[in-house]
Amino acid sequence: MDENFAENSSIVKNVDASNFMLEVIEGSKEKPVIVDFWAPWCAPCKQLAPILEKAVLNEKDKIALVKINIDENQSIAGQLQIQSIPTVYAFYQGQVADGFQGNLPESEVNEFVKKVLNLAGPGQEVEELILSLNNSLDQMDWDSAKSLANEVLKIDNLNAKALSGLIEAELGFKRFDEAKEIVNSLDEDLKKDKNLKEVIEKIEVSEKAFLASSEIEPLKQKLQDNPNDLQVSLELAIALFGGGNIMEAYELLLSSIEKDPEWNEQAARKQLLSFFQTDGLNSEQSKIARRKLSSILFS
């Protein structure tokens, strides 16, 4: 690859002491700025430059790439304590936010650029996709939700909202093993995200309910024979929920709470609250059941 490729590119600005404040410090308040510190005599710098430019090329509207020749700008190099080159810093909101030294492999350079892009949060395209994703999830359009989640993940493979939406779609399809595979592939820190924590908690509840759904008719017969058997009522509610009869499951649990709110250490109430989380606190069915629960508990 031509060693002057990056230096001559229109997407790379050469910065010096006269415009460092404008292009890097002030510029990073609008979008992240990657600064490549180099020198003409540095062979690794010439190897890294085109790799760095290639990684930035498709994101040039969201990120800026500038080059600073340390031989000609020793004051900047001194202030930023540049001790060896190539050194690459990412500036955001006027400060150094990330960086690396040395000539990294292309895959690691690409990961670095992705991390820098995430500093500014999701772009307009991602925000619109997430909005459509949430709408599809609300409508239980699992095909559309999965497609939209994957579109976001192509742009930002660590987007927690998209990952949680993808897991939610797999649960909607009753593909519990696939949902678990996604969870197992996630970094432990990422699993701490609020959206992901909530959907991960849904997996066990949803799978248990689905497996129980085949027992609906036998359980209905048992409850008909003994309407006050709260254990059977609980088991039937779980089966109904797994079969998609959400409101019927809610009504059964609410009836049990009315009969004996303290039964089995408030088992019916705990199950109901667990279902609210799985169904979504803002679903119309959850809202109706929550109002009824409040009426029972505080009347």
The identity of residue 13, as a single letter, is K
Instruction: Return the active site residues.
Output: 42, 45
**How many angstroms separate the CA atoms of 298 and 265, rounded?**
18
Give Cβ neighbours of residue 95 (< 8 Å, ≥ 6 apart).
28
User: What are the residue ranges of helices labelled H in 95-229?
Assistant: 106-119, 124-138, 142-155, 160-172, 176-184, 194-212, 216-225
The identity of residue 249, as a single letter, is A
**How many angstroms separate the CA atoms of 297 and 294, rounded?**
5
* Other CB atoms within 10 A of residue 45 CB: 25
CB 7 within 8 A of CB 25: no
Give Cβ neighbours of residue 137 (< 8 Å, ≥ 6 apart).
145, 165, 168, 169
CB 165 within 8 A of CB 139: no
**How many angstroms separate the CA atoms of 103 and 257, rounded?**
65
* Other CB atoms within 10 A of residue 261 CB: 12
| 3-class secondary structure, 96 | strand
Closest CA to 94 of 17, 36, 20, 14: 20
CB 272 within 8 A of CB 253: yes
**How many angstroms separate the CA atoms of 78 and 288, rounded?**
65
The identity of residue 190, as a single letter, is L
